[in-house]
Amino acid sequence: METCKLLHENVFAYVEKDLPPVMLQQFDKHVAECAECAAMVADFKSVLILMEEQKSIEPRPFAETRILQGIESRLEKRQSSSFPVFGRILQPALISVGVATALSIGFFIGSDFANVNSQYSQNEEITESVRSDLNVPEFMTDDIIYFTE
Amino acid sequence: MTDQELITGILNNDKTVIQFLVSKYHKQVIKTAFHLLQNMDDAEDLAQDVCVEIIESAGSFKGASSLSTWIYRLTVNKSLNFIRKNKRKQLVHQFESFFRKGDNSIETRVTEPSEYDKTFENNERRQILEKAVNSLPENQKTAFILSKYEELSYREITEIMNLSLPSVESLLQRAKQNLQKKLIVQFSEYSNKK
Ligand SMILES: [Zn+2]
């Protein structure tokens, strides 16, 4: 009973053979006689095999290609949606001028209102993309830096 | 290619170097993230995040530790943040995977029908182990995974986790003790169910 308790407290170290030789021999002898401890030791030996299996886990096929494609598209997206600081300031002004010019030209020509509208909605889309670009991306907001260099 | 050459190449936006970076480190990142997140889709997404962060913050790599250590640290930080943000989602996944027979989150080998019972029992045991490792406190789980699954030395773990050697030794000791307790309970419950 005393040995059962002792083995319960050291079963991980026992199956890993991370104990003094005297203790290992004592437990070997006990396991040969105690069915309950033998079952527990068998369970922990299977844990060691499963842990070995975890070491040899491989990425799925083409993971490298998928990652490269993902990186490329994310970097491209960021590059195309990020403006230099002065651009961020100038962009709304430029858009306003663009809208005004488009409207003036539209009125000047005096025809094809649909065309003006589509120009306007395009500019509205650009304004929206600028607005969303000014927002701080979610990934930069509340991450915890657990371990630092 | 040395760490410094790699960093210089990234800073110069050299596509070949970026390809080399992904080819060299994607396996390390995916494996570590998988062990922490227990989901291969999430691990791949996280590997993408880690690579983008390496590219974007290569300039801040001081070379105080090796590039591999820095990448491990980014992976662990991002994985722990992912877990924090997706705790609810994660709980549902663990619950499902615990009760899903023949879980395919880990590539299982094709076996003969005569080995079915053995495989079934292995799957049960695998899920018990996954659950026990997942229930460890964050620091213990991280140290355990880096030591046992990634086979890193104590010194490397101290660098990644920014801890002293005695702290890492104590973390691993406690991780093993906790795991042992949890596994004994789980295995006895499982054998009572049989
Ligand atoms: Zn016994």
**B20, burial (CB in 10 Å: exposed 0-12, middle 13-18, buried 19+):** middle
Q: Does domain B118-194 fall into CATH 1.10.1510.10?
A: no
Q: What is the residue range of A110's domain?
A: 83-139
Which single residue is written with the structure tokens 């970097």?
A75
Best of B24, B26, B78, B130 to substitute, by most chain A Cβ atoms within 10 angstroms, is B26
Flag whether A68 is in a domain: no
Between the two ends of chain B, the Cα-to-Cα distance in Å is 55
Complex ipTM above 0.85? Answer: no
In chain A, the percentage of residues whose pLDDT exceeds 70 is 56
Mean residue pLDDT across chain A = 73
Beta-carbon separation of B77 and A139 below 8 A: no
Give me ligand 1 centre to Cα A71, in Å.
55
Beta-carbon separation of A67 and B49 below 8 A: no
Closest CB to A147 among B55, B77, B179: B77
pLDDT at A106 over 90: no
Query: Which one-letter DSSP state was computed for residue B109?
Result: P
Q: State how many domains chain A has.
A: 2
| CB-defined contacts A:B, below 8 A | 106
For chain B, which ranges sit under pLDDT 50?
102-113
Best of B21, B52, B141 to substitute, by most chain A Cβ atoms within 10 angstroms, is B52
Give me ligand 1 centre to Cα B180, in Å.
16
Kindly report, as residue ranges, where domains of CATH 1.10.1740.10 are found in chain B: 1-86
Beta-carbon separation of B183 and A43 below 8 A: yes
Query: Which one-letter DSSP state was computed for residue B151?
Result: -
> What is the distance in angstroms between the Cα of A1 and the nearest Cα belonging to chain B?
17
Closest CB to A57 among B51, B106, B179: B106
Flag whether A75 is in a domain: no
Which of the two residues, B133 and A127, has the higher pLDDT score? B133
Average pLDDT over residues A17-31: 96
Would you say B33 and B79 are in contact if contact means Cβ atoms under 8 Å apart?
A: yes
Q: Which amino acid is at B136?
A: L
Cβ contacts of residue A32 below 8 Å, gap of 6+? A38
Q: pTM of the full predicted structure?
A: 0.73
Query: Which one-letter DSSP state was computed for residue B86?
Result: T
Kindly report, as residue ranges, where domains of CATH 1.10.10.10 are found in chain B: 118-194
Which of the two residues, A80 and A107, has the higher pLDDT score? A80
Closest CB to A146 among B55, B62, B80: B80
Confidence label for A18 from pLDDT (cuts 50, 70 and 90): very high
pLDDT of residue B30: 97
Flag whether A134 is in a domain: yes
Q: Is the dihedral of CA A147, B74, B4, B52 positive or negative?
A: negative
In chain A, the percentage of residues whose pLDDT exceeds 90 is 46
Tokens representing B150 are 């990634």
Which of the two residues, B6 and A147, has the higher pLDDT score? B6
CA–CA dist B16, A103 (Å, integer): 47
Q: DSSP letters along B11-23, please?
A: HTT-HHHHHHHHH
Tokens representing A19 are 């104990």
Beta-carbon separation of A63 and B26 below 8 A: yes
Closest CB to B126 among A40, A43, A50: A50
Flag whether A96 is in a domain: yes
To 10 degrees, the CA torsion angle through A140, A143, B155, B36? -110
Flag whether A144 is in a domain: no
Q: DSSP letters along chain A, please?
A: -HHHHHHHHHHHHHHTT-S-HHHHHHHHHHHHH-HHHHHHHHHHHHHHHHHHHHHT--PPTTHHHHHHHHHHHHHHHHHHH---HHHHHHHHHHHHHHHHHHHHHHHHHT--HHHHHHHHHHHHHHHHHHHHHHSPPGGGTS----S--
pLDDT of residue B189: 83
Flag whether A23 is in a domain: yes
Q: What's the CATH architecture for B1-86?
A: Orthogonal Bundle (1.10)
Beta-carbon separation of B125 and A74 below 8 A: no
B191 contacts on A by Cβ (under 8 Å): 39
B183 contacts on A by Cβ (under 8 Å): 43-44, 47
